[in-house]
Structures are given as C-alpha cells and as structure tokens.
Amino acid sequence: MSKFKNINPTIIVIFGGTGDLAKRKLFPAFQNLYLDGRMSKKFEIIALGRAEKSNEEFRSYVLENLNIFSRKKDIADPETQKFLSHITYHSLDIDKEESYQSLNEKINNIDETFGERANRLFYLSITPSFISTISSNIKKIGLAANPKQDRIIIEKPFGYDKTSAIALNEMLSQTFKEEQIYRIDHYLGKETVQNILAFRFGNSMFEPLWSRNFIDFVQITVAEEVGVEERGGFYEGVGALKDMIQNHLLQILCMTAMEAPASLEADDIRNRKADVLKSIRRIKPEEVDHYVVRGQYDAGAIKGNPVPGYRQDKGIAPDSITETYVAMKIYLDNWRWQGIPFYLRTGKRMEEKQSSIIIQFKPVPHSSFSYGKEGMTPNRLIINIQPAMDIKLQFMTKKPGLSLSLRPAEMIFDYFACSTMSPEAYETLIADALAGDPTLFMRWDQVEQAWDAIDTIQQLWKNTVPVKFPNYKAGSWGPEEADELLARQGHKWIPNTQTKEELLDDTDI
C-alpha cells in the first residue's frame, strides 16, 4: 500500500491503450495521480494500438474521455493539459517482432531525454489470449531486462482454470521474475476493503470477538443490477464463478478472515492471505449441490424497467448454461474459524447494486428481554464496500419509556461524510505499482490456491447441464435454492441496509 514513496522516472506502456478499460479507468487514474502530485516529474505514457494515429488525435481522444470518466473533470485545467503532453501514441502489431523493436527504440529515446534509464511499467489491458505473444516478444527484444526497474501489470482473469493458470505463470516466469508481476484485482484498491485491515488490527476491542467463539456466520455479497451488456461473447466463456468468486469474493474473504500480519510489509500481509486460501475446505464432487447454488437470470424488471433474460442478450446462446449467479457456503479449516460458515453470493441483474460484508454475532446465551418484537435482534457488523461506503455496528438499546423493553440501534462510520473525493481503486493500485509496492496485488500462490478452491465445482459444472435454467427473475435476489442453502442452518441472507421497522421485525432466528 503506497506510503507516498518517491516515484522514480517511469515509462508506462499500455497494451490496449485504445480499449475500454484504458479510457474509463487507466487514463483517469493516471491523470488524478498526476494532479495529486503522485507521479514522477519524469514520466511518459505510451499508448499502444493497431490503428495509425497522431499524438494530437490521441490526446484529444483521451481528453474527451477524461471529461466523461475522471473524478476531476475540468478539461480547461492547464495542469490537465500538461498531463496530456506526457502521452504519446504508438502503433503496434502484437504479432510482429519488428513492432516491438520500434517500441524499444522509442523507449530508449525517452531514456536519453530523461538522462537516465527509467523504470518501465507494462500494463496489459488486453484479453488473456495475447499475454503469451506479448510476453515472449518483450523477452526477445529485452524490453524488461532489469528485474529491479521493470514491472508488468496483468488484469484478471489470470487463466481460465487451475491448469491454464499454471501454464500462464510458467510462461510468464520465463520473462519476468515473480516480484515483477503485478496481478491486479481492482476490488483490493477500494477504500473500504483496505480499511478492513485498519479496522481489524488497529482496534483492540474487536480482536477477541473476531473468531468462532463469538461469530455465528459471515456473509459476503457482491451484487450487480446490470446484465452482461455488450460483453456477452466474453461472459459466455466465463460465468460468475470465474468472473467474481475466484478473485473478488475470495480476496474479500481473505481480508475478512486473515490472521494479524507481523508487519504491513507486502510479504507478511500476502502470507496471511495465502493461509486463508489454503485453509478453505475443498468441496468434493458429490457435495457440490449441497454447498453451491448456480443460477441464470430470466426476463424481469430493474427499478420498474423491463429487462430481457440472459439468453436474450446479444451474443448469448439460446440454450446457454452459463451461470450469472453463484451462492456458496465455505468453511475454513483453521483454529480461528473452524465450524463457522462463510456465505458468498454474487449475481447479475439483482434487485440492487451492493457489495458488503456482514458479520453476525452469536445470540446472547440467556436473555430476560425476549418478548416477540420487543426481543433481541442479533448484533451485526456491516461493512459496505459499494455503492455505500460505511461501517455499521448494530446493537440493542433500551427503548425510551417506562417499560424495560429493547430496540435495535446503529452506530455508523460514513466514508462520504469524511471525504467526497476519495481516490478510485485503480488510482491506489497504479500508485502502488509505480512505487514497487505489491501488497494489494495477488501473488502466484494466492492465484493457484484460489483456482484450486473452485476447481471441483468448475469441472462438475462444465460436464453437467443444470436442471432448471433460467431460475431467477431479473430484479430479484436470486434463485430460491440460495435461500435454502442458509435456511438449513437457521440462517438467512441479510440486507446491508434496513429500515427501523425491518430491524424491529428481524428477530433472532
């Protein structure tokens, strides 16, 4: 995690510089880092693409998108104009070695202008199928020959399954050392996710409670209102298990369940996260249906507006068995969490957009206050990641009046009340990559263990046609089987926001 370290002169090379991620996230992130004084005084961004463009044409394109997607949208700002002057465009054919030689000449010329050999950050904002070609050509030309100065950022997914991930890592390791490879998961750059570390290990009062002795269950939700939009062709070969569970949700699980690191150094934190992934109880093939639910959305309505089913979206097969929803129960076989269920769910076309962690504590062992609606509701800690960014603690208080009855109350820490201009996730992660801080990036052993944790599920679903697809309506909270998954243990899915009336109705179950 970046600590405002001095950034050395850096040349940033973006493969896929004309793509959607670059225009929506990467250039706005670099612009904001520049405006906040987080870039080196000597830096150059080389955007790569197939088409021929002049620098002026490309800078106008970047400026237009900054005005749409950047959190600092003042296009007349002279500092933004200075930022644009650091961007050049370079036409490159990914398959041709001579294109990389031309790129090498350009980089060497920039080094001469800087008067020193700059750090090099290669950002692969491209589909995984191109990684092998790019990596081998980078090696052939010697573009990243200095392990201490040169780094590569790779977007998810890192492989398509455990086997392909191992093959990809072996291929990359022929060009890059592990310390040069930054596998990015933008969820780890979100303010609220990072704050889990501060919240857990910066407050002594929570540590004694953070275990199987006091916690009943943990629930992690990443729900989206949107469907697959224009990504149908991509999503058909991926699905929710690989797109969300294997990376985002398992990484949030790691932050929630990890042991205290010895320090905030990258290896100490990543070691503790790897321990969590190793402790996940592997699900046997015959147990998959008991522990995991998959779903696919049908036509429905989002906020009163009708939307089509998944199979009606562009690029989707009419008999597709790709899952758009996954709910699963996970156990961690370790001292702290033995026997405590972690419920994970993610889905598209859900009732509302929501990313949250809910920790429900065990009920009091005995209470004299249990009278129906005036009785006890569970203590809960709710960490909202997006769109809300807050931490809520729900507890019981005496209801004002002459009778000794209780009512639930909340204490809330709201991020937006503290800062309305928090850096976005990509800003945080890119700043760390520029500084050479890999703390929030996935190490290879984490990637391998994450794939291994879902491998049995993935293999079974690949060879088994679901009995009933689609099985939930757009605008709902998913298939009924997901509710049954929790109900078997007397639990239920908890919304991350509740009215006072809902809190009063939510008696201990």
d(CA 451, CA 428): 25
- Marked catalytic residue, from 86, 90, 186, 248: 248
> How many other C-beta atoms can be found within 10 angstroms of the C-beta atom of residue 125?
22
Quote the Cα angle for 132-251-203, to 5°.
Answer: 145
325 Cβ neighbours under 8 A, 6+ residues apart = 240, 293, 294, 295, 296, 297, 345, 346, 347, 348, 472, 478, 479, 482
Handedness of CA 153, 238, 385, 449 (dihedral sign): negative
Q: Are 369 and 405 in contact (CB under 8 A)?
A: yes
Q: In the block, which residue shows the tokens 């916690």?
A: 215
SS (H, E, C) 288-334: HHHHEEEECEECEEECCEEECCHHHCCCCCCCCCCCCEEEEEECECC
Q: In the block, which residue shows the tokens 């402790």?
A: 279
29 Cβ neighbours under 8 A, 6+ residues apart = 424, 426, 427, 430
Task: State how far the alpha carbon of 388 is from the alpha carbons of 34, 407, 413, in Å.
Answer: 27, 24, 11
The sheet carrying 181-184 orders its strands as 87-91, 43-49, 10-15, 119-124, 150-155, 181-184
d(CA 17, CA 54): 14
Residues in the chain: 509
Q: Which residue, 37, 25, 39, 33, is CA-closest to 68?
A: 25
Is 248 noted as a catalytic residue in this protein?
A: yes
Active-site residue list: 248
